[in-house]
Amino acid sequence: MTRRILALMAGAVLLVSLLAACKKDDGTIDQEEAVAIVLEEIGISREQANPHVHPTEVDGRVCWGVYVTYKNKQMLFVVHSATGEILSAEESTHAH
């Protein structure tokens, strides 16, 4: 009986460990997904765009600011982190 209890406890610990290691999908867009959304929207490759990303907030909404080079201009695309919607696109003077 003791062996059965120990085996059940070991199995429970293993199951909890496996579940804890799983990535929680909370529905938010990460920075790589935000870049992919912008690149798909404008139809250029990562190499052409040379993107970099900063977290930002617009009207209380958590967003990603995705900076890319597009048509020889530095552009800022703001991507809503919960929906993946591009909220704005404008020329920027930001550079790295």
Q: What pLDDT was estimated at residue 66?
A: 97
Which residue's entry shows tokens 């490759």? 45
The string of pLDDT tens digits covering residues 50-59 is 999 999 999 9
**The pair of three-digit structure tokens given for residue 66, joined into one six-digit string:** 């995705």
pLDDT (0 to 100) of residue 67: 97
pLDDT tens-digit readout, 24-70: 466 799 999 999 999 999 999 999 999 999 999 999 999 999 999 98
